[in-house]
Structure 1
Amino acid sequence: MSPTPLATQADLEAALQRSLDPGQAAMAIRRASARVRKYCRQEISLAENETITLPGNGRVLRLPQRPLVIDDTHLLTVTELFGISDVEYMAVEGRDFTRIGTELTRGEQWWAPTRLMGWPFMRPQGIWAQRVRVTYSHGYAEIPDDVVDIVLDLAQMSMTNPQGLRSESIDDYSRTFAAETIGGAQLTAEHKEALRPYRVAAFSVAPVT
């Protein structure tokens, strides 16, 4: 299922101050949302109770999507998977790991050898298992205004030049389109600077099948 677009047709019509063909508006917003997501490497919109499997074998486990949403209806469930038989051990925050932002840290190696140091007993202390299954919620229930503005900006470029023309002439009238609108609207340097707080380093995960 495709992620929810980061803006609406009503937003785009308000920005352009005119009515739009629903199909064209939806395509422009969908493409603009995809460009923003690709650059940021984030879904941005709220995803609830997503399950992924991450590689472990380190002391710090970094969840790929942010911000985390944790409350009474959005729980964080962390399960370590051991060996080819997938023996499972549910790790508990505050007992088996600590959490700061999207980083889950196993016990420090110099602490007393309790379960916080790792389980089973013979595995390396303070290290996550080879694979860790995480169920968590992330993103924004309400898309930040600066992200919406950039999506609308890109969508407007596409709506202004939907055929990707470099220039056009009608009788004595001619106009040249901005380079950003040719072949699909592209993020500008100003867009990328504004999106910097939402962008994360490249991260690969193995989705649960």
Structure 2
Amino acid sequence: MTTLPPLAQVADLEAAMQRTIDPMQGALAIRRASARVRRYTRQTITFVSQETIILPGGDRVLRLPDRPLIVDANNPLTVVELADLGGVQITCIEGRDYLRLGDELTRGYPWYAPGRLMGWPRRNLGVWAPRVQITNSHGYQDVPDDIEDVVLDLATMNLTNPQGLRQEVIDDYSRTFASETIGGAVLTDAHKEALAPYRVELTSVRPS
């Protein structure tokens, strides 16, 4: 399994906390915070080049799971309708077979005549095949500031209270920790609001 890069750096965490921290502890806190943000948003976030996945079709609109979609000369988008039972696979062309708007691919009427040899008998015009293979690039070259802010905030919580204490008492000194720092930092309502624009609905995706 490929290890995803962190969504912030230890130097950023030191700047946010305004103190020097142990590099290994800082890296661990950031890695855990990054994992929480990715799990909530259901997004890779960082840039991924030419990933191949298989999506369920059957509708007119096909929504790609990761944002933003990057399409340029160095990052082509390849869309192939897969056939079952020895049928013919069809490579779809943008502007001819489908239209692209953001992360949505809308199927147009096919230029070929649908038939049983394609592997999906009685296929409706203007509807994606049951399975569609996508090769695409997606994500951000630079992590958006609001995502990085949430990661740094979560990492700071973990480092502030690494042992998950509710209250610490030393002689006459007493310190009470915020509830969200107990047992590992979790996303607050404010964090979720900040991440809302990046969160996507669940989509069934199978790696190719």
Q: 1:16 to 1:127 in 2, by over 3 A?
A: same
Deviations 1:146-191 (A, max 9, x none): 1111100000000000111111111221101100100110111111
Q: 1:45 to 1:58 in 2, by over 3 A?
A: same
Whether contact under 8 Å (1:45, 1:142) holds in the other structure is yes
The residue aligned with 2:131 is: 131
- TM-score, structure 2 as length reference: 0.92
Question: SS state of the match for residue 148, structure 1?
Answer: helix
The residue aligned with 1:175 is: 175
Deviations 1:65-93 (A, max 9, x none): 11111111111000110113363211010
The residue aligned with 2:54 is: 53
The residue aligned with 1:15 is: 16
Whether contact under 8 Å (1:169, 1:175) holds in the other structure is yes
1:3-42 counterparts in 2 under 5 A? 3-42=4-43
Whether contact under 8 Å (1:95, 1:116) holds in the other structure is no
Deviations 1:29-61 (A, max 9, x none): 011111111111111111111110001111111
Question: SS state of the match for residue 87, structure 1?
Answer: coil
The residue aligned with 1:195 is: 195
1:124: Cα distance to partner? 2.1
RMSD (CA atoms): 1.7
Q: 1:154 to 1:96 in 2, by over 3 A?
A: same
Runs of 5+ consecutive residues of structure 2 not aligned to the other structure: none
Identical pairs, percent: 59
- TM-score, structure 1 as length reference: 0.92
Residue 145 of structure 1 pairs with residue 145 of structure 2: yes
The residue aligned with 1:111 is: none
Q: Distance in 2 between matches of 1:11 and 1:116?
A: 54
1:102: Cα distance to partner? 0.7
1:122: Cα distance to partner? 5.9
Q: 1:43 to 1:86 in 2, by over 3 A?
A: farther
Deviations 1:107-159 (A, max 9, x none): 15xxxxx5178675963211111111000011110001111111000000000
Question: SS state of the match for residue 52, structure 2?
Answer: strand
Whether contact under 8 Å (2:56, 2:204) holds in the other structure is no
Whether contact under 8 Å (1:106, 1:117) holds in the other structure is no
Question: SS state of the match for residue 80, structure 2?
Answer: strand
Q: 1:199 to 1:171 in 2, by over 3 A?
A: same
Aligned length: 203
Question: SS state of the match for residue 98, structure 1?
Answer: strand
Whether contact under 8 Å (2:81, 2:91) holds in the other structure is yes
